Structure 1
Amino acid sequence: MDDPEIKLERPLFYKSPFGLRFEIGPSDLEIWNDESKSLNSEYFSVALERAMSIFHAVFEASDDIAITYQIFSDGRRKIKKRSFIFKQLNSLDNAKIELSDHREIYSEDLDYKSECWKRATISGIKTTEIDTEQLFKAIINTDFSSLQPKLNGECYLINRTKQLVLNLYDDRGMDVVSNRKEPLDSLYRSHNHLILDYDRESIDKVFS
């Protein structure tokens, strides 16, 4: 299928017809070690484990997927071929890369004609061709200056086979959305324990 008719704008959960919102960073673990004032590695390990578990529940090896990466630009900032996102693919030889500018997303934040969102969409790839673990680790590390790797920007994984979009937005959470309820039913059941409590009531009304 073509890209789902989902507007790639955060928060994805609140802007999509059907969606699930998951807690990625474990609330029962502290981010910082009180004694050493260092980051708690267990927190980040559990967060990555949760993100990967959700990903594997809805992305199979043979699925036809696309990756969209976007950054805010004042007109000068661009997405370069040496960007972190491109390095997470085994090969770009058979991939289709489309670069585009967008003013229809976050439009209330765009004050000048030179401002836009730069987007790179990588399509024609399979799930197995991307180092998802390294990508998720970089997203989880986003707000912590001492941690590497790090991804500066937004990343959306589009599963064209399953007709859904996944967005891990930082260490706190992940949205998985679709235009239809059916692609999310099994994920709702298998990962119900990770649903963010804040949105659980509204999610249960749709899926339970």
Structure 2
Amino acid sequence: MNLQLEIERIFAGKAFARPLFYSHPGGLRFELSETGGMIEQFLTAVSKATKICRDIFVDDAKLVACLRIHSGSNRFAHRPQIHALRSAGINLPRGCSIWSEMRDRDEWFCEKVPEFWVNVAFEAPATLLQALLWCALAKDFGVIEPKPKCAVFLFNLNKHAMVFPYDDRGMDVVGPNKDLLSQLYRQHHSWLLDHDRHTMDNTFA
């Protein structure tokens, strides 16, 4: 399976649009971290994200993960992230999909030097779900390792759903599977982000 083509097909070429929740009407946005010290906030975020994601990947032996790396002018500068994943017990299989995309010109540091996003998509056992969420949420915590320092997207391509834990504060879940999203809305209603709760209520209540 060509993961790049499947991701682009299912999510209409907008899988990596930011902010994801506003780019995919009818999605969900969850609040993760709560009060407390840095470590407590991080562990709470990982725990809540894991519980939500287990309801997305229930009965699935595998999931698809995609690293999205800002590479500057080097469109294949993804080796440090792969090494960080290995230290978390996540080994990329052979045959993973790797592709690059040029960033918008107005986002370049120097207008004469193009910058790229590098995407590395691969299948992983669902048992690695918590490790992948750890890596996704650790990127803004200086004292927590391992952290690949990149965005991590998780896909259930069979159920047409994707998850983006954008930092310890929140996580977006979007996709054309409205039945699954409605189920998540009911099961985890208390964790919906209050700022966008009205929008979600209008869709699912």
Q: If the length of structure 2 is used for normalisation, what is the TM-score?
A: 0.82
Work out whether 1:195 is the aligned partner of 2:203.
Answer: no
Equivalent in the alignment of 1:68: 66
Equivalent in the alignment of 1:145: 142
1:25-74 Cα shifts (integer Å, max 9, x gaps) = 01xx133xxxxxxx3x3322222110110110111242553111111122
Equivalent in the alignment of 1:206: 203
Equivalent in the alignment of 2:78: 79
2:184 aligned partner, one-letter code: L
Equivalent in the alignment of 2:97: 98
Equivalents in 1 of 2:55, 2:165: separation in Å? 14
1:46-195 → structure 2 map (5 Å cutoff): 46-62=44-60, 64-76=62-74, 78-80=77-79, 82-85=82-85, 92-93=92-93, 96-103=95-102, 108-110=106-108, 111-112=111-112, 114-123=114-123, 125-128=124-127, 131-195=128-192
Please identify which structure carries the higher helix content: 2
1:20 aligned partner, one-letter code: L
Q: Is the 8 A contact 1:98 1:122 kept in 2?
A: yes
Q: Following TM superposition, by how much is the alpha carbon of 1:179 offset from its aligned partner in structure 2, in angstroms?
A: 2.4
Runs of 4+ in 1 over 6 A off after TM superposition: none
Q: Is the 8 A contact 1:75 1:116 kept in 2?
A: yes
2:166 aligned partner, one-letter code: Y
What is the percent sequence identity of the aligned residues?
27
Q: Which consecutive residues of structure 2, in runs of 5 or more, have no partner in the other structure?
A: none
1:58 aligned partner, one-letter code: I
1:7-22 → structure 2 map (5 Å cutoff): 7-22=15-30
Equivalent in the alignment of 2:36: 30
Which has the higher mean CA deviation after the structures are superposed, 14-23 or 138-147?
Answer: 138-147
1:134-190 Cα shifts (integer Å, max 9, x gaps) = 222233222221222223011110101111000111110000001242221110000
Q: Is the 8 A contact 1:17 1:178 kept in 2?
A: no
SS in structure 1 of the partner of residue 167 of structure 2 = coil
Q: If the length of structure 1 is used for normalisation, what is the TM-score?
A: 0.81
Equivalents in 1 of 2:148, 2:159: separation in Å? 26
Q: Following TM superposition, by how much is the alpha carbon of 1:113 offset from its aligned partner in structure 2, in angstroms?
A: 5.4
1:75-112 Cα shifts (integer Å, max 9, x gaps) = 2261128432356566545x531111112x65642444
Equivalents in 2 of 1:205, 1:179: separation in Å? 17
Equivalents in 1 of 2:49, 2:141: separation in Å? 18
Matched residues, number: 193
Equivalents in 1 of 2:20, 2:89: separation in Å? 24
